[in-house]
Chain A
Amino acid sequence: MLYQKRCLKSVLILTIVGLVITQSGCGDYKSNVESGNLNGTLHWGNGTEPQSLDPHIATGVPEHHIISALMEGLIHKDGETLEPRPGVAESWDISDDGRVYTFFLRKNARWSNGDPHNAHDYVWSWWRALQPALGNLYAYMYFPIANAKAYYEGEINDFNQVGVKALNDYTLQVTLTEPIPYFLQLLDHYSTYPVHRATVEKFGTADQRGTRWTYEGNIVGNGAFQLKEWKINRRITVERNPYYWNADNVKLNQVVFYPTENVTTEERMFRAGQLHYSGIPSDKIEVYKAANDPSLRIQPYLGIYFYRLNVEQPHLKDKRVRRALGMTINRDLLVSQITKGGQIPAYAITPPGTMGYYPESDLTFDPETAKQLLAEAGYPNGEDFPTTEILYNTSEGHRKIAVALQQMWKKHLNIDVTLLNQEWKVYLDTVSNRHYEIARAGWIGDYVDPNNFLDMFLCNGGNNRTNWCNSDYDQLILEQVPKATSHQQRLALFKQAEKLLLDEMPVIPIYVYTSNNLVHPTLKNFGRNILNQANYREMYLEPEKSMEVLD
């Protein structure tokens, strides 16, 4: 018995001693932000644990942030204006017909292990990205390149027929099917980044998913930073890549990405000086605004919040009903009283200002006309209009908007609306199987061009999901736009298509997203752009003056 007692006692004492020793910190402790400012380490709240760092497999914003630190494309975009700037390609020529791009690569570009980096890397990497077995969800980014789509879909088997050629070690020629003004932008999307062939092949075949080539100690990139450590669910640290062609002008020594998962936790970490950059829960925006906090950054984001209408539902078949629904949403009230995040009321699907494009919309908040339209469609004063269901994925923000719309439609059209929330994957399943009447949706642009929003609603568009199909619309987007001879003509054709879309209204635009973040005042050159792209190679940290004195 005595032995048992002693045994229990010693286990207890050992554990307490262990806890006390490991947890007794010395008082002189600096927060991440304070120490980071001094040693050039940026602490970045990064949302979730990345699913992959393979640029041809990854999707999602957290992955994008890390990959853009580790790798670089032929060009990169200016942090503010998004204009193309030389990346691995120091210059390029575009043929007069706008179809042939010739890129001249830097001779001093290197991989992070010191290997030379040249035009053949692109040919091989793009071949890899177009292997269906790899499951690249962004393969369509390559489709402007001649024959890329045909190759991807198995119509041709010879990659030499695809419009990518290495003319010599440092010259890459890309031929497009049509002159596409946004092509250069695609080259700064991670799905078109090159990968280091020897490393990929060391850990598996080129088209094999789930190999370990992107892990700590394995990955070789061509970006301003290289992977230092990847602690699952804890942090990913990248450090300066000495072989980067512009290494002398990279100011940060390290970037630490924290997979925080929960935005409320992330914001608290920011407040406690653990992060230089974080997201902000929407209910905290007002608090930061009231305090006039300079950390709060609200900027327009290339994304649209909208509702899909299933036009196969009998009562939603009539476009007058759909227009009536669209005209009775008081968007100004919604963004000022409900969402409160600086969102911009949207009366068209493409956010205004996308590559100089301003959609022409006749959609307004007009309850009187809406009532007339509904009466003409056979539902005077909303009588006999079946109870309609709004579907949204579980989220307090979506619920508030749905409740507001429910009330607006009741007030202005006298129709009854019920709400249904579903967990994310169930919601996706319901929407893609068209088992809904009205469903909330959002779309974030991958590149700045109206095409990125408008080609969603083609008859066979995978993201259409409304059952709406209009041959005139398809003809405009698929045939007329690519043949446009000038930028202005192209935009005019998009306007025509969007007008058609808004007239038929299979989707109701609600607001243009804003990206809301907290950025520590010591983080400089943060850049503000509508893609919310982070440009780590240009950012730097400037310790606050008072701190320098103290130190």
Chain B
Amino acid sequence: MLRFIFSRLLQAIPVLLVVISVTFLLIHSAPGGPFSDEKAVPPEVARALEAQYNLDQPLWQQYTSYLTDVLQGDFGPSFKYSGRTVNELIAAGLPVTAELALYAMLVALIIGISAGIFAAIRPNTMQDYIPMSAAMLGICMPSFLLGPILILVFGIQLEWLPISGWGDIPGDKILPAITLGTGYAAYIARLSRGGMLEVLSQDYIRTARAKGLSERLIIFKHALRGGLIPVIAFLGPAFAGLLGGSFVVETIFQIPGLGRFYVTSAFNRDYTMILGMTIFFAGLIIVFNLLSDLIALWLNPKLRHQARGGQQ
């Protein structure tokens, strides 16, 4: 197992290096610099600013000095937010985005798994069609549409829930978590339905039925474990996706998370911020993929056996 983890981490190094290099080249080749503005920047100011952020050096030199800093865990100063470091901005936004992602994941799991099981129990009946059509709708419904609809109904018309902020007013985390989680709930519903259907047709389930076990026991005790493996495999990338894809929800609900920084930094040409966030998210995706593989191994003896066999 340790060897497996180690080899996966080793593979991550070239991946990260490629991510850094490509991002570095792309942002530096994009037209417009971090300090260009509608008001012309006087040449002496431009020179002073470029010297301060090493932009007056040749590109390869900027690249190597950036890489050296990153190796030491320093993502550098933000170009846009004077005096703030990228590390500091990530540290400020990460707990919020992580919390939002966690709640969204919870919403997704609860709704998704329940709907999936419900549909799989009686496939190809109305009990299947209705939740699965709803899931399709959930996948298709973008959060920039769902968010404002929820705000309009529950925030402004019914006045049940706050429509903005994070941790300021009780209840302000509910609508963002639902908005962000719904799309993933729909995926999970389809995955768990598929997984459950496959497991329910297995011999050991037939044996359980022959033994006269109750349907509830069969589904929750015997089938669910195997049926949820596709969902578990989806969790890692999904969590990374939730962390990186929360921009729209963060903007709609005025949430001080990472997503807003990521997108605005690209518009601002805040080079260090774009790079820092990209490396950070790339790292997250690698770690979550690894974690979800490890959980799948833990849950599925068949895979564990294969992994061990592969290593021999």
B48/A132 in contact, CB under 8 A: yes
Partner of A423, one of B41, B48, B267: B267
Q: Among A210-218, A337-345, A379-387, which stretch is in contact with chain B?
A: A210-218
Whole-angstrom distance between the alpha carbons of A215 and B164 in the complex?
25
Whole-angstrom distance between the alpha carbons of A463 and B39 in the complex?
6
A428/B253 in contact, CB under 8 A: no
Q: Among B10-18, B78-86, B132-140, which stretch is in contact with chain A?
A: B78-86
Quick one: which of A377-425 are within 8 Å of B by CB? 423-425
Q: Among B30-38, B122-130, B183-191, B202-210, which stretch is in contact with chain A?
A: B30-38
Query: What are the residues of chain A within 8 A of B173 when measuring CB–CB?
Result: 19, 22-23
B83/A215 in contact, CB under 8 A: yes
Chain A 199-217 per-residue mask, 1 if CB under 8 angstroms from chain B, else 0: 0000000000111101100
A262 within 8 A of B: yes
A233/B261 in contact, CB under 8 A: yes
Closest chain B residue to A215 by CB distance? Answer: B83
Per CB-CB distance, the 4 closest pairs between chain A and chain B, nearest first, are A25-B170, A425-B32, A462-B40, A233-B256
B282 within 8 A of A: no
A52/B82 in contact, CB under 8 A: yes
Chain B 85-98 per-residue mask, 1 if CB under 8 angstroms from chain A, else 0: 00001001100000
Chain A 9-41 per-residue mask, 1 if CB under 8 angstroms from chain B, else 0: 000100110010011111001000000000000
B151 within 8 A of A: yes
A233-B260, A258-B254, A268-B163 known; A153 and B174 CB under 8 Å?
no
The number of chain B residues touching the other chain, given as a range, is: 35 or more
B171 within 8 A of A: yes
Could you show 15 A-B contacts with beta carbons less than 8 Å apart?
A: A15-B106, A19-B177, A25-B170, A25-B171, A29-B170, A51-B82, A52-B81, A52-B83, A136-B45, A210-B52, A210-B83, A233-B257, A269-B163, A274-B165, A462-B40
Query: What are the residues of chain A within 8 A of B156 when measuring CB–CB?
Result: 268, 271-272
A133-B48, A268-B163, A272-B163 known; A232 and B102 CB under 8 Å?
no
Partner of B42, one of A262, A264, A462: A462
Footprint of A on B, CB under 8 Å?
30-33, 35-42, 44-45, 47-49, 52, 77, 80-84, 89, 92-93, 102-103, 106, 148, 151, 155-156, 162-167, 169-171, 173-174, 177, 251-254, 256-257, 260-261, 264, 267-269, 298-299
Closest chain B residue to A231 by CB distance? Answer: B256
B83/A212 in contact, CB under 8 A: yes
Quick one: which of A107-147 are within 8 Å of B by CB? 132-137, 139-140
How would you classify the secondary structure of chain A's contact residues: helix, strand, loop or mixed?
loop
Footprint of B on A, CB under 8 Å?
4, 12, 15-16, 19, 22-26, 29, 48-49, 51-52, 54, 57, 59, 132-137, 139-140, 152-154, 209-212, 214-215, 231-234, 258, 260-262, 264-265, 268-269, 271-272, 274, 423-430, 432, 442, 461-463, 465
B164/A425 in contact, CB under 8 A: no
Beyond A51-B80, A428-B32, A462-B42, 18 additional contacts (C-beta under 8 Å) are A12-B106, A22-B173, A26-B170, A29-B170, A51-B81, A52-B83, A136-B45, A210-B52, A234-B166, A261-B260, A265-B254, A271-B156, A272-B156, A425-B33, A425-B36, A429-B32, A442-B38, A465-B40
B269/A425 in contact, CB under 8 A: yes
Closest chain A residue to B152 by CB distance? Answer: A268
Most chain B CB neighbours (cut-off 10 Å) among A19, A52, A152, A234 = A234
Give the Cβ gap from A458 to chain B, nearest Cβ, in Å. 12
B256/A135 in contact, CB under 8 A: no
B256/A232 in contact, CB under 8 A: yes
Closest chain B residue to A214 by CB distance? Answer: B83
Closest chain B residue to A443 by CB distance? Answer: B38
Partner of A137, one of B41, B103, B162: B41
A139/B42 in contact, CB under 8 A: yes
